[in-house]
Every structure is written in C-alpha cells, then in structure tokens.
C-alpha cells in the first residue's frame, strides 16, 4: 500500500464505506467546485494535504471536514481577510501545505505578490486595510501567546466585531489543528510543488 508521509494513501476503491463518505464530502463538496485553487487529489484520486489523515478516524474526520467547509464557505470573514489569517498561521507554524494551498486561494481572493511576500516574511503590508492588519495581529497573538490581552481585545472587538472575532478564533483553532496533524503525519507537498517558507516556525 502506498503511504502519504506516515499515513496509508488509499485510492477511492480501497476505502471502506465510512471513509468513502468522508472522501465524497470533500471531493464532491464546495472545495471540489474550485479545482483551479489546488488539487484535492493526485491523478489516482488519493487525497492530498490534511484530508488523507482524516480517513484514519472517519467519524470525527467527517465533522472536521464539515467545520473546515463552514469556515471557508459559510463564514462572515471577507475572503481576503480569511486567507490572510490562514497564511499568517501557516508561516507561524511552518506549515508548507497550508501555505501552498492558501497562497493560491489568496491570489484568487485578491492578494498581490507584495502582500503575500509581507505575510511570508513577517513584514507589514501597507496595502492591507486596517481590519486585515488587525486580523494578522490577532492570529499572531493566538498562535504565539495563546491569548489576546485587554488592549488588543478591545481594539479587535471594535475593528472586527465580537462575532467576527469569534469566527477568527475558530479559524485559528481549526487550521492550527490541521498544521499539527500534518506535522505529526509528515504530510508531504504534492509532487513537484516547491517549499516556500524560509522562516523558522514558532515552537
């Protein structure tokens, strides 16, 4: 059997009923409707990125993929802000696959080369809005400090609103979980995809 890092890498016909249900929800769901962003599968239909490991625990995997779909497609964060948050987390965690996938989605959401380079290198991006800059700051607080101090919280609540701030906290928790999973399972980039993150991840 093929392996994807430390994880068995099964083609669709090798999946049991519960695994196939998760697979179909991922491939036939809203992620699969935008194949130009990044490939969900290899040429033989095997899941790429974090999704393959979800098949190891199909019951929970179904819940995890549904949460991710809700964050991506049913949240209130603007597309640019959402992708900025995910990319900021990818850099802080040194998660190559999250950067690989969401750099592409971010470009489609309107992020330009300068903005992507600023996130990748930890520099300010003068073309981002005040709300987008606040999103970057809050993601860093959550990942590095695991908290938001009173001043930063008050500023974020004023800038984003309480509901959007809560959504951002959920987003960070979700993508942090995926980054941890991909680290533990040694999830590789797709064949031929170059590594992009030069910074040392925060430990």
Identify whether 196 is part of a domain.
Answer: no
Domain that holds residue 88: 79-179
Identify whether 38 is part of a domain.
Answer: yes
Distance CA 108, CA 113 (A): 12
Q: Is 125 left (phi over 0), alpha (psi -120 to 50) or beta?
A: beta
Distance CA 11, CA 42 (A): 9
Per-residue model confidence (pLDDT) at position 156 = 94
Per-residue model confidence (pLDDT) at position 198 = 62
Distance CA 154, CA 4 (A): 43
* Residue 89 shares a structural domain with residue 137: yes
Per-residue model confidence (pLDDT) at position 35 = 60
Per-residue model confidence (pLDDT) at position 29 = 86
pTM for this prediction: 0.93
Domain tally, the chain: 2
* Residue 104 shares a structural domain with residue 148: yes
Q: Could you give the angle at the alpha carbon of 122 between the alpha carbons of 31 and 151, nearest 5°?
A: 95
**Which residues have a Cβ under 8 Å from the Cβ of 65 and sit 6 or more positions away?**
22, 25, 26, 29, 51, 54
Domain stops at, among 48, 73, 98: 73
Per-residue model confidence (pLDDT) at position 201 = 41
* Residue 8 shares a structural domain with residue 98: no
Whether the Cβ atoms of residue 111 and residue 80 lie closer than 8 Å to each other: yes
* Residue 116 shares a structural domain with residue 174: yes
* Residue 49 shares a structural domain with residue 108: no
* Residue 101 shares a structural domain with residue 163: yes
Identify whether 170 is part of a domain.
Answer: yes
CATH number at residue 96: 1.20.1290.10
* Residue 127 shares a structural domain with residue 172: yes
Per-residue model confidence (pLDDT) at position 194 = 86
* Residue 169 shares a structural domain with residue 126: yes
| pLDDT tens for each residue of the chain, 203 residues long | 899 999 999 999 999 999 999 999 999 988 877 765 778 999 999 999 999 999 999 999 999 999 999 999 999 999 999 999 999 999 999 999 999 999 999 999 999 999 999 999 999 999 999 999 999 999 999 999 999 999 999 999 999 999 999 999 999 999 999 999 999 999 999 998 889 886 444 43
Identify whether 191 is part of a domain.
Answer: no
Distance CA 125, CA 25 (A): 36
Q: Which two tokens stand for residue 166?
A: 């809560």
* Residue 164 shares a structural domain with residue 91: yes
Domain stops at, among 73, 90, 116: 73
């Amino acid at each position: 059997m093929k392996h994807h890092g430390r994880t068995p890498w099964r083609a669709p016909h090798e999946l049991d009923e519960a695994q196939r249900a998760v697979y179909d929800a991922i491939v036939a769901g809203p992620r699969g409707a935008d194949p130009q962003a990044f490939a969900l599968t290899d040429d033989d239909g095997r899941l790429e990125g974090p999704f393959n490991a979800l098949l190891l625990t199909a019951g929970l995997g179904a819940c995890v993929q549904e949460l991710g779909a809700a964050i991506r497609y049913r949240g209130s964060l603007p597309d640019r802000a959402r992708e900025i948050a995910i990319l900021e987390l990818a850099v802080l965690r040194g998660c190559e696959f999250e950067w690989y996938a969401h750099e592409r989605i971010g470009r489609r959401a309107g992020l330009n080369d300068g903005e992507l380079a600023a996130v990748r290198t930890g520099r300010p991006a003068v073309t981002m809005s005040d709300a987008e800059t606040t999103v970057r700051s809050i993601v860093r607080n959550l990942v590095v400090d695991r908290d938001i101090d009173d001043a930063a919280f008050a500023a974020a609540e004023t800038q984003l609103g309480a509901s959007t701030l809560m959504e951002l906290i959920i987003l960070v928790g979700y993508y942090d979980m995926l980054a941890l999973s991909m680290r533990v399972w040694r999830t590789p980039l797709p064949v031929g995809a170059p590594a992009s993150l030069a910074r040392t991840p925060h430990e």
